Amino acid sequence: MTLAVRRLAALLLLLAGLWSGPGVAHESQPGLLEVRQLTTERWEIAWRAPIYYGQPHPARLALPPDWQPLGEPRVRRLASAELYRQILRVPPGSVDGSVIGFPGLEQTITDVFVRLHRLDGSEMSQVVRPTEPQVVLRGERPWTVSAREYLALGFHHILLGIDHLLFVLGLLVIVRGPRMLIETITAFTLAHSLTLGLATLGHASLPAPPLNAAIALSILFLGPEMVRVWRGETSFTIRHPWVVAFCFGLLHGFGFASGLSTVAMPRAEIPLALAMFNVGVELGQLAFVALILLAHRALRTLEFRWPRCAELGPAYAVGTLGAYWTLQRTAMLF
């Protein structure tokens, strides 16, 4: 059966284990910068810097030199972020084309959403990535630019979501035949798109800590099923993996929603952002599946042979990591 996939999975998991620091189990939260015009010359900035691996975020805010602070900034420390608020005097007409930098962001994996609101009701929304840690404030941008940004955001979000990828890997080991593969991946996609949409549009929400624990549990759940596949046994999951993929996919969708913050996003932009973010996630997931299938085929072509017991490795690895995360994230609930 899917021996090669399992062997490959073992290798990947080994690497994943090496690569994942303690922090990987957490979603990396995006940052948020709101720039709001209060009067002609007075602006307020609100900078939400997420806690980064237990530390204050290394990125700082570099405002244009001609923006004069009025009074002291207000700082509030929350469990997941630090909030800075500051009123500024900005020379009229100097906002357009101004550059706000985020020195320090380039060493992190944090994306920052930037939102600009003017008195005349016009709004701007942009995503800043660590690869280019600055934003140029402009009035209007073509929608294609925003679409590309949200697409990339979704793509990167899934690449960093090792727990989601691990779940998909577990499904790949369990499914047999292309038909079952397509059914299962489609079910997972539909389910997480559904809850991603509901959560983003504000119709449903789950608090992050129990959600993350539940996602970990879904990975733990696959471990024993993978062992059953190895033993040649069967179960409901092995016969109908799409059902499991759909049910747990609903959970994972809430997880994806944490990567797309719609706070203060212009209303008109939310559908576009949601759609493109979702497409990005699916592309990343498909790329991962394609890579695994290609590597699996390559291992067969090169006639790799392993001891039979080595094929159990991935099942134990998935189970162990799932269990570890479940315990860790459950402990964080209390």
Partner 1 sequence: MRRPGHWSWVAAGWLLPAGAAQAHLVSSGLGPFYDGALHLLLSPGALLGLLALALLAGLRGPRAGRLAVIALPTAWLLGGLVGLGLAPVPDLTWLGVAAFLVLGLLLAADAKLPPIAIAALACAYGGLHGLLDGMALTAIGAGTSPLLGIVLAVLVIALLGAAAVVPLRVLWARIAVRVAGSWVAAVGLLMLGWLARGTG
Partner 2 sequence: MSFSQSFRPRHRISAPILTIALWPLAAWAHVSAGEAGGLLSGLSHPVSGLDHVVAMIAVGLWGAQLGMPALWILPVAFPMMMAFGGLLGLLGTPLPGVEVGIAASAVVLGALVLGRVRLPLAAAVALVGVFAVFHGHAHGTELQAGQNAILYSLGFVIATGLLHGVGIAVGLIQRWSLGRQALRGAGALVMAAGVYFLWGAVA
Binding residues with partner 2: total (CB under 8 A): 18
Q: Does 310 bind partner 2 (CB under 8 A)?
A: no
State how far the Cα of 306 lies from the Cα of 309, in Å rounded to an integer: 8
**Stretch of 211-219, 220-228, 291-299, 326-334 contacting partner 2, by CB under 8 A:** 291-299
If the CB atoms of residues 2 and 189 are measured against partner 2, the closer one turns out to be 2
289 binds, among partner 2, partner 1, none (CB under 5 to 8 A by kind): none
| Cα 214 to the center of its chain, rounded Å | 16
Q: Output DSSP code: residue 27.
A: P
Three-class DSSP category at 125: strand
To the nearest whole angstrom, how small is the minimum distance from the Cβ of residue 287 to partner 1?
12
The pair of three-digit structure tokens given for residue 30, joined into one six-digit string: 């995006």
**Contact with partner 2 (CB under 8 A) among 76, 89, 300, 304:** 300
If the CB atoms of residues 295 and 312 are measured against partner 1, the closer one turns out to be 295
Please list the residues that pair with 252 across neighbouring strands. none
Location of structure tokens 């690497």: 15
The pair of three-digit structure tokens given for residue 19, joined into one six-digit string: 């690569």
13 binds, among partner 2, partner 1, none (CB under 5 to 8 A by kind): none
15 binds, among partner 2, partner 1, none (CB under 5 to 8 A by kind): partner 1
Instruction: Write the interaction track for partner 2 spanning residues 3-42; mark x where CB under 8 A is met and - where it is not.
Output: xxx-------------------------------------
Three-class DSSP category at 86: strand
Give the Å distances, CA to CA, from 321 to 60, 167, 291, 310.
Answer: 34, 11, 22, 17
| Cα 329 to the center of its chain, rounded Å | 17
1 binds, among partner 1, partner 2, none (CB under 5 to 8 A by kind): partner 2
Query: Which among 66, 141, 144, 143 is positioned nearest to 99, based on CA atoms?
Result: 66
The pair of three-digit structure tokens given for residue 268, joined into one six-digit string: 């008109």
If the CB atoms of residues 298 and 327 are measured against partner 1, the closer one turns out to be 298
**Contact with partner 2 (CB under 8 A) among 168, 181, 206, 244:** 181
**Contact with partner 2 (CB under 8 A) among 22, 121, 142, 177:** 177
Query: Which among 300, 304, 186, 166 is positioned nearest to 245, based on CA atoms?
Result: 186
Q: Output DSSP code: residue 85.
A: E
159 binds, among partner 2, partner 1, none (CB under 5 to 8 A by kind): partner 1
Interface residues toward partner 1, by CB under 8 A: 11, 15, 18-19, 106-107, 109, 111, 129-131, 156, 159-160, 291, 294-295, 297-299, 301-304
270 binds, among partner 1, partner 2, none (CB under 5 to 8 A by kind): none
Rg (alpha carbons) of the chain, rounded to whole number: 22
Residue 58: how many other CB atoms lie within 10 Å: 16
Three-class DSSP category at 52: strand
Chain positions contacting partner 2, by CB under 8 A: 1-5, 175-178, 180-181, 293-294, 296-298, 300-301
